[in-house]
Amino acid sequence: MPYQTINPASNKLIKSWPDHSDSQIEQALATADALYHSDWSKGAIQPRLQVLKKMADLIDSRVDELAEAASIEMGKLIEQSRGEVQLCAQIARYYAENAERFLAPTSYPSELGEAWVENHPIGVLVAVEPWNFPFYQLMRVLAPNLAAGNPVMAKHAKNVPHCAVLFESLVKEAGAPDGAWTNIFASNDQVANLIADDRVQGAALTGSERAGSSVAQQAGKYLKKTTLELGGNDVFVVLDDSDLDKAVKAGVGARLSNCGQVCTAAKRFLVHEKVADRFLEKMTEAFKAVKIGDPLDASTTLGPLSSADARDTLDKQVQQAKAKGAKIVLGGAPVPGEGCFYQPTILTGITRDNPAYFEEFFGPVAQIYVVKNDDEVVELANDSHYGLGGSVFTKDIARGKALASRIETGMVYINSATNTSAELPFGGVKRSGYGRELSDLGIKEFVNQKLVVIS
Ligand code: NDP
């Protein structure tokens, strides 16, 4: 598949983008590697932080333009695209203001002498990124690594090339030298070759298990470090003592935001039997009230899926779930006509032998499970290959905290949907991947934490 801008709301091709040749990629790698060996990477941090600060200001001044590009390429509601763009400015500013402190040397009291750990860049990184947050996914890699001094070669998903190019030009306009961030329209083979190259020291990937496994295998073969942020099958737990209206509102948002294409979206709703009927009724009403349409129209509340493939894959999963015994309470089909729209869908009656029980549904499809007690919540939540995020709704915070500590995921939110913010670590366990992005943890993933001891 070529790099193409196709508007998923109309399924019309807007522009094709040429692939980069092997020699273009070699040239880009040589430039990035030279930058790593220069004062830019090895010298003072301030010039790099200035670029991040400028980038935050540039993004803030272009929210509408950037948001529109994202909505056109992958179908996100325009208001949500604006939110994504603003979050990018926050992340850039956060690292501009905090990276120096995060990377400062840390003392280690020791009998062997005066000891400390310094943080140094490690070299060129490869980033492989998905389309669901076409700017935020890039910023999560750029901001910490630009601050740390690691040049990045970024391979974006095939359906968001315009966002990839806009992002690269913002980094340049903010004053970063050539090689600090290079967008490459590369094939998977070209990415594999880059990872094998001695000048590359690590790879960060967000995407599917299939892509993560392939990149991690190649990196493992050549002994390069990776971070992986893969899928999720997050639970959204509604206990009998929760504020039901608050839980329904948050749950609907957590399932339908970005048309359900979020790794940390609420995918499995575990609802206590005492409130299950009322929850289902309220959620069904809310799903029925959704206005499907053009993501650029501010009155639309559910846009298209990102591509025809995404819609068809989701529909196959829903039909298979039904064939294996699930009940479709609402929806369960693509919206007829142009564009990659799918009806908001609610499934119940999913048993453990139904493939839907373990699969991630990347779209507006909610699975509802009725639970009797907190032990059953934990059993169901942890009976998953994934371990990314999760939410627990309860008025009893001690009960919520106890559940949070028993759920095997990288993140748990009590009384809100799983969220993200520059200062909070983001990442998972099990097949949701490993490593953390954002916060002080994210900036330490690809630095040489070098020990120095004076005896
Ligand atoms: P992919 O994982 O295929 O795409 C994500 C990125 O990985 C893209 O840049 C893609 O490139 C690249 N990629 C894929 N295979 C390889 C490979 N072998 N080597 C190097 N790079 C590779 O996601 P899809 O778009 O196909 O979505 C499929 C499913 O993945 C979703 O239904 C969802 O379950 C999950 N997903 C999870 C995301 C998350 O946020 N955690 C985000 C997106 C998807 P290219 O576009 O060229 O294929």
Query: Tens digits of per-residue pLDDT, 336-372?
Result: 999 999 999 999 999 999 999 999 999 999 999 999 9
Q: Which two tokens stand for residue 366?
A: 């909610």
Q: 426 CB under 6 A from ligand 1?
A: no
> Which residue has the least CA distance to atom 28 on ligand 1?
208
> Which residue has the least CA distance to atom 42 on ligand 1?
207
Distance CA 442, CA 422 (A): 10
Whether the CB-CB separation of 149 and 448 falls below 8 Å is answered with: no
Q: 286 CB under 6 A from ligand 1?
A: no
Whether the CB-CB separation of 393 and 405 falls below 8 Å is answered with: no
pLDDT at 271 > cutoff 90: yes
pLDDT at 379 > cutoff 90: yes
- Structure confidence by residue, pLDDT tens digits, 97-119: 999 999 999 999 999 999 999 99
ipTM: 0.96
Distance CA 317, CA 250 (A): 25
- Structure confidence by residue, pLDDT tens digits, 185-238: 999 999 999 999 999 999 999 999 999 999 999 999 999 999 999 999 999 999
Nearest atom of ligand 1 to the alpha carbon of 433: 41
Residues with catalytic roles:
229, 263
pLDDT, averaged across the chain: 98
Distance 242 CA to ligand 1 centre (A): 36
The pTM for the full model equals: 0.97
Beta bridge partners of 126: 153, 203
Distances (CA, A) of 142 to 16, 45, 70: 25, 15, 18
Confidence at residue 1, expressed as pLDDT on a 0 to 100 scale? 86
Distance 310 CA to ligand 1 centre (A): 11
Q: 413: which DSSP letter?
A: E
**H-only helix segments in 111-236:** 136-148, 161-173, 188-196, 209-221
Q: 263 CB under 6 A from ligand 1?
A: yes
Confidence at residue 280, expressed as pLDDT on a 0 to 100 scale? 98
Whether the CB-CB separation of 374 and 403 falls below 8 Å is answered with: yes
> Which residue has the least CA distance to atom 13 on ligand 1?
211
Q: 268 CB under 6 A from ligand 1?
A: no
Whether the CB-CB separation of 35 and 178 falls below 8 Å is answered with: yes
Number of residues assigned to the chain: 455
> Which residue has the least CA distance to atom 46 on ligand 1?
157
Nearest atom of ligand 1 to the alpha carbon of 128: 9
> Which residue has the least CA distance to atom 8 on ligand 1?
157
Q: 208 CB under 6 A from ligand 1?
A: yes
- Structure confidence by residue, pLDDT tens digits, 151-188: 999 999 999 999 999 999 999 999 999 999 999 999 99
- Structure confidence by residue, pLDDT tens digits, 22-78: 999 999 999 999 999 999 999 999 999 999 999 999 999 999 999 999 999 999 999
Distance CA 204, CA 141 (A): 8
Pocket test for ligand 1, best of 128, 155, 208, 218 (most atoms within 8 A of CB): 208
Q: Helix, strand, or coil here: 239?
A: coil
Which candidate, 209, 251, 258, 162, places its Cα nearest to that of 384?
209
Q: Which two tokens stand for residue 91?
A: 């992340």
Distance CA 325, CA 61 (A): 51
DSSP 338-407: SS--B--EEEE---TTSGGGT----SSEEEEEEESSHHHHHHHHHSSSEES-EEEE-S-HHHHHHHHHHS
Sheet holding 106-107, edge to edge: 106-107, 114-121, 447-454
Distance 418 CA to ligand 1 centre (A): 21
Whether the CB-CB separation of 129 and 140 falls below 8 Å is answered with: no
pLDDT at 313 > cutoff 90: yes
> Which residue has the least CA distance to atom 22 on ligand 1?
211
